[in-house]
Amino acid sequence: MLKAAWWGLAACVGMDPALFYPPQGGSVREAKRICTSCPIRVNCLAYGLAYGEVYGIWGGTTEDERRRMRKAA
């Protein structure tokens, strides 16, 4: 996967990826908290939607939240 220029500006850089890919039923609270202050949150969400990311937290959204966004679009 090619990383976009904005990727390195993310608030999650250097954090444990497991925070953003919790097991089914696991808490996403900490990941979402990190995303709220992220300067590239919009880019991350756009990436997650454009590439059909079905796992993990992208731009502060869960898999279910992105699924609903895709259906609404």
**CA dist., res. 63 & res. 61, Å (int):** 7
N-terminal to C-terminal alpha carbon distance within the chain:
25
Instruction: Please give the biggest Cα pair distance in the chain.
Output: 33
**C-beta separation of 18 from 7 below 8 A:** no
**C-beta separation of 59 from 28 below 8 A:** no
Its pTM stands at 0.89
pLDDT for the residue 5: 84
Q: What is the pLDDT of residues 21-60, one digit of tens each?
A: 999 899 999 999 999 999 999 999 999 999 999 999 999 9
pLDDT for the residue 10: 96
pLDDT for the residue 45: 96
pLDDT for the residue 2: 54
pLDDT for the residue 51: 93
